[in-house]
Structure 1
């Protein structure tokens, strides 16, 4: 991580040696393996790698002699070198360390980035390089020897003897506390009850009690506002792209434990929403066994985990795959979001059944996803393209969309967007909207330079505007000239 965050100057061998020296430097003074200790150490490593001191190049010989035989692909380091330093950090954490967006946000705040979301979006918009080989290092690095080995061996022997003596003579010590107990649902519980409580534990590390115990203990040691108040449920313990990962749940809280660090998020109680594991992989509900790609082809799964499925947008958010009659997408939360779409001809019905996104719905969400920045994780997102047509007075084709986001923690928000050219340069947010009776308006400047007030409403409604003169309405689009933008009261009838 330090290697990829360092400025891309000079030879790679020096860059790697400095990176390892930074990591070794943060280990001095103790090796705290608790989640909080590892998080603090990661922050120290990132701070030093962002602004490396020139003194790190002095006496670099021992670290140069300990370099691995093969260095990372130069295409990747060249790409990273062109990024802003904080964007480089976000890219490494998101796309190389596999951290979720909320964890990257917290880390950037620790690095004193005032507004982390634009940094994360910029990192997600960076296209990956066509690397010839993996960016990861060899698993076994040669030891760095900065002094004679004899004193170290002597110290190790004396320390071992002292520890042995303490163990034999101090019988009054309390036994080491055990990790909190984890619960697991019966393998067939989901056949009788379709709830999150019935999800079985899956993954190749489920029986590794040492690993799952560390994950449970890490959650138990978390700050009070994120600590579980009872026995946590183990949902997954396995390797994702080679890295061990545990996913625990208690109520509406979801904890991800990997690389010795813990991330906790509110994930709701939806029994079927896929859980993001990182790297584009998702853990499916046990009854959802046959996901499909957006093209309708089978998406491979193993032990309930999908093959990598990533949104085809520059920002990394958008539709992912179909599960049953639903289409799920990534809007930045710990679980996939169910996406819905209504065409301009749609009329609200009392009861509605889930439906997959067709080609038009996928295209619309590919545009909207990069504009959608929920303040909280979202369980469902609906986009109603309530008006589509050509804007008069020299305008081009446009779509007016009302987007409703249902938040995992409860509540919902809805906002309207006027989508212009396909390149998104003229997309414009036009305020809140009613997802059942959409109407929205905005002042618009024509190519001639004159101002007009435009408003549109959903099918079966007509927009009415107070505060403008000489308005005309045709095919649910209201147009009124104006000398300058002025306050307007808009309703739909």
Structure 2
């Protein structure tokens, strides 16, 4: 490894001797036996091989005498000599040592290379001579080299084998101490590839703060069973949000939000674009999202992908928040923002039912609906889209005042869906499941006089029909009936 990283100048025998000398000088005895110790040794070897000192050529005799009889083929060396040192290191790690991209990225960061991804992409684009390949040396062919110290020096081949052991140990993890390795996506990878959560890059002014991000990973790895993460997690954000250092990590559909004061783990689903709630009205946007706007149409400030605080205008704190492109996003109390849609009573299903940017009427309606009990599932289940159809609007009988009946179709992050009806009146109430294309819903309702009635409404073009009630009348698609309170009723629409 050190041989191929060295600048491609001078004779091969001297370069190989210098490489072995670098490896020998990096040995720290028993401290190199742990995976962490071996990883630190690899960093020392690469750092010296990238910028070799001239003093390494002084007193090189013992290492020259210990060279194997068979030297590496010069073809790959000549090709690597033309590369920038950072690209050369990335190539050796990727295509000679066989490390995955995330491991190469982390190693380049350890070598204090500010922007590793361009070097990795350039290394992947290198095409070595087709008939040549790097040769590895058998440990048995390398005699131990001794300098003034009487301690045996570890050979380059042993280091290579040890580095492989480091990778295996990293993949398997230490059973005695749970570990979580952080990876991050190529910052520009989403521009030419699939737009998935895996393509979200790590953003924030602390994304390169190894101590902070490692602390976040350690906290998640040490969380109680059921919330703990092991193996690999993706770093989505690390930065200062509202004066607090915050890290956002992801593993599958789970998201962990870490501050030095604690860790919060939620099931956020795997929607590719839904903004992630960071707290305080701030959201982490997808990297490809258009610049957000306030509900008034003004630009909403964004820093490193995080919006300025945006709060709903409702009394409960839930409801529409901001616009992104043609969508209006809102807070329904879940871990991610939800795309909100609205249909007025004049709406007629025509096969297209995609949410559009909410106007004033739609926003005002959602400010009320978001605070009503309309969820057909648990409140913590992430919702990616909510379409509300105000399928009936009018006056309730017996002086009950004006009311709206709405059927809300929810699309969850896992692709499943559900729809539930809500009666928005003097006292809002959930009225059970509904058909988002042919809505009809009913409930027992107490009039201001204290008498109970069964009310039901249906969508445009439909008439509600109820079995299990006594006298019933239908006027403007609203059914009013008497009967025994809370008696089972079979409701249909015709």
State yes or no: 1:184 paired with 2:184: yes
State yes or no: 1:395 paired with 2:396: no
Partner SS for 1:231: strand
1:116 — aligned with what?
Answer: none
1:201 — aligned with what?
Answer: 202
The within-5 A match list for 1:19-98 is none
TM-fit CA distance, 1:179: 5.9
Deviations 1:390-434 (A, max 9, x none): 12332321101122333335544432221114xxxx222222222
Deviations 1:15-66 (A, max 9, x none): xxxxxxxxxxxxxxxxxxxxxxxxxxxxxxxxxxxxxxxxxxxxxxxxxxxx
CA distance in 2 between partners of 1:485 and 1:251 (Å): 44
Root mean square deviation, CA, Å: 2.3
CA distance in 2 between partners of 1:211 and 1:433 (Å): 48
- Preserved CA contact (<8 Å) 2:334 2:380: no
| Structure 1 gap ranges (5+) | 1-173
1:371 — aligned with what?
Answer: 372
The within-5 A match list for 1:16-415 is 180-192=180-192, 193-372=194-373, 374-409=379-414, 411-415=416-420
TM-fit CA distance, 1:342: 1.5
1:420 — aligned with what?
Answer: 425
Change (3 A) 1:383 1:353: closer
1:3 — aligned with what?
Answer: none
- Preserved CA contact (<8 Å) 1:340 1:383: yes
Change (3 A) 1:375 1:186: closer
2:88 — aligned with what?
Answer: none
TM-fit CA distance, 1:377: 2.8
CA distance in 1 between partners of 2:417 and 2:303 (Å): 34
TM-fit CA distance, 1:468: 2.5
Partner SS for 1:225: coil
Change (3 A) 1:239 1:483: closer
Question: Computing the radius of gyration over CA atoms, which structure comes out larger, 1 or 2?
Answer: 2
| Structure 2 gap ranges (5+) | 1-173
TM-fit CA distance, 1:352: 3.0
CA distance in 2 between partners of 1:279 and 1:394 (Å): 42
TM-fit CA distance, 1:218: 1.5
CA distance in 1 between partners of 2:179 and 2:400 (Å): 65
- Preserved CA contact (<8 Å) 1:179 1:213: no
CA distance in 1 between partners of 2:233 and 2:485 (Å): 60
Q: Which has the higher contact order (CA 8 A, sep 6+)?
A: 1
Partner SS for 2:364: helix
TM-fit CA distance, 1:260: 4.1
**What TM-score do the two structures reach when normalised by structure 1?**
0.60
CA distance in 1 between partners of 2:469 and 2:308 (Å): 55
Partner SS for 2:248: strand
1:469 — aligned with what?
Answer: 470
CA distance in 1 between partners of 2:361 and 2:493 (Å): 26
Deviations 1:234-286 (A, max 9, x none): 11000011110000112111111102422111111111101111111111111
Deviations 1:319-367 (A, max 9, x none): 1111111111112222111112121122223333331122222112111
TM-fit CA distance, 1:485: 5.5
- Preserved CA contact (<8 Å) 2:206 2:212: yes
Partner SS for 1:371: coil
Partner SS for 1:226: coil
Number of equivalences: 315
CA distance in 1 between partners of 2:446 and 2:344 (Å): 27
**What TM-score do the two structures reach when normalised by structure 2?**
0.60
CA distance in 2 between partners of 1:329 and 1:412 (Å): 18
- Preserved CA contact (<8 Å) 1:289 1:304: no
